Amino acid sequence: MAPVDYIPRIRDNYARLGYKPYNWVFNGIPPPWAPLAKPLSECRLGLAASGGVYVTGQVAFHHKDDTSIRDIPTDVDTKDLRATHFAYDLSVARRDPNVVFPIDPLRRLVREGFLGALAGTFQSFMGGIYSTRRVSEELAPKLVSRFLEEKADIVLLVPV
Amino acid sequence: MGLVARSAEAAGIPTLCLASALDITRAVNPPRAAFLDFPLGHTAGKPGDPELQRTILADALSSFASMAAPGTVRALPYRWSEDEDWKAKAFAEGDDRTARVDTPQYQTEEDRRKAEGNSPPSCPVCR
């Protein structure tokens, strides 16, 4: 079966509920491109994920255009990860955070030599920020500075 | 996430989006994307299935080496289930989202106690 077309489906559903139409981003400008400089087995991987994951002890995200980020140490005990979000069913991520924050499979790929190393911290944030301006002016620059400070050679992005 | 990908790439860092909504991914048009046709909330695999999670991640990450053109979206070959009933239901009707409140939303009350215990004093002269 073909993939779900979420944009028309959500548009129609919310129109029936009487909501104001959501402004989807359609980016026709060709994306920039940084070529891979070395084999994956020599790369240090960074990660940013928008599933609202935090470590117990950190302040949790709020659900209204929260542009803050949490640094998640990549040696974190998976049992200490938590998830909060307003828009997806959290029961699965709370049972196994790897479905939205794949820390265990990535650690394993480093042990296997598939990847060189993981950055010291991964970055987590809250998806569903409705302001494109706040994403591009507040969130994206903060994330990119963290990737650079962590000396990530490549970055995996995991939206929800 | 497309905007984050573009910002990182413009700063010289190659990125890959692992995503489960193909049309939204195409709309935001990131430099590299691997599409996993799973229900939203399972972007990186099935819960409690570390072998599948490892396979999906390794397969997706191999795109860093194989993709050659900006805007490439590669479909990963994994299926959520034999039947695809979940596709008919996803976001089709109603609204299951919770209210968008602007105070921290903890998974547990214990998390709240730990975090509030860790917070710096709110009064600047008390530091």
Over the stretch B49-79, which tens digit does the pLDDT of each residue have? 999 999 999 999 999 999 999 999 999 999 9
Q: What does chain A come to in residues?
A: 160
Confidence of residue A23 (pLDDT cuts 50, 70, 90): confident
* A134 interaction partners in chain B (CB closer than 8 Å): none
Mean of all residue pLDDT scores within chain A: 95
Give domain status of residue A146, yes or no: yes
Summarize pLDDT for A60-105 with one digit per residue, the tens. Answer: 999 888 999 999 999 999 999 999 998 888 999 999 999 999 999 9
Q: Quick one: closest CA in A to B1, which residue?
A: A159
Give domain status of residue A106, yes or no: yes
- Domain holding A75, by residue range, is 40-158
The answer to whether residue A89 neighbours chain B at the CB level (below 8 Å) is yes
Give domain status of residue A34, yes or no: no
Residue A158 pLDDT exceeds 90? yes
The larger pLDDT score, comparing residue A101 to residue A11, is at: A101
Summarize pLDDT for B102-112 with one digit per residue, the tens. Answer: 999 999 999 99
Q: How many domains does chain A have?
A: 1
The answer to whether residue B96 neighbours chain A at the CB level (below 8 Å) is yes
Dist CA B58 CA B50 (whole Å): 12
Dist CA B43 CA B22 (whole Å): 12
Mean of all residue pLDDT scores within chain B: 92
Give domain status of residue A16, yes or no: no
Give domain status of residue A74, yes or no: yes
**Which A positions 34-63 lie with beta carbon below 8 A of chain B?**
34-37, 39-40, 43, 45-46, 48-51, 56-63
Tell me whether residues B47 and A40 touch, CB distance under 8 A.
no
The answer to whether residue A126 neighbours chain B at the CB level (below 8 Å) is no
Give domain status of residue A31, yes or no: no
Dist CA A148 CA A110 (whole Å): 20
Q: What is the pLDDT of residue B127?
A: 46
Dist CA B76 CA A121 (whole Å): 27
Residue B126 pLDDT exceeds 60? no
Summarize pLDDT for A131-154 with one digit per residue, the tens. Answer: 889 999 999 999 999 999 999 999
Tell me whether residues B105 and A144 touch, CB distance under 8 A.
no
Q: What is the pLDDT of residue A54?
A: 97
Q: Could you give the 3-state DSSP secondary structure of residue B71?
A: coil
Count the neighbouring beta carbons within 10 Å of the beta carbon of residue A14: 15
Q: What is the pLDDT of residue A21?
A: 86
Give domain status of residue A59, yes or no: yes
Residue A1 pLDDT exceeds 60? yes
